[in-house]
Amino acid sequence: MTTILMIIIDSSKSGAAQEAVKNAVRGSKTITEQEARQILGVSEKATWEEVMQKYNTLFERNAQCGSFYLQSKVHRAKECLEAVYQAKSQKPAD
């Protein structure tokens, strides 16, 4: 048995690790709409313009502080919500 498979099997025995196992198996780096809204601090009723305003503010603020990790989180949140708004046809054409 490979080491990775053994780790997955061992990890799946605990309830807290089951979510991590699912994420590892899924291999996805995407975030949920709810997570994206929490990161950007916008509600479900927010317009695309409000989302972009929050995105720009947070992205620039973290650029000044030098936090690439936080910038990445903010960017991924915007990408997620962009897909949601495009699907709902609420985002204006760029």
CATH number (domain holding residue 60): 1.10.287.110
Position 8 in a domain: no
Q: Note down the domain range covering 40.
A: 31-90
Task: State how many domains the chain has.
Answer: 1
Phi, psi of 60 (to 5 degrees): -65, -40
Position 6 in a domain: no
Position 76 in a domain: yes
Position 65 in a domain: yes
pLDDT for 20-41, tens place per residue? 445 444 445 689 999 999 999 9
Position 11 in a domain: no
Q: CA-CA distance, 87 to 83, in Å (whole number)?
A: 6
Position 9 in a domain: no
Q: CA-CA distance, 75 to 34, in Å (whole number)?
A: 15
Per-residue pLDDT, 25 = 47
Rounded mean pLDDT of the chain?
79
Write down the residue that tokens 């708004």 correspond to: 85
Position 54 in a domain: yes
Does the pLDDT at position 72 exceed 60? yes
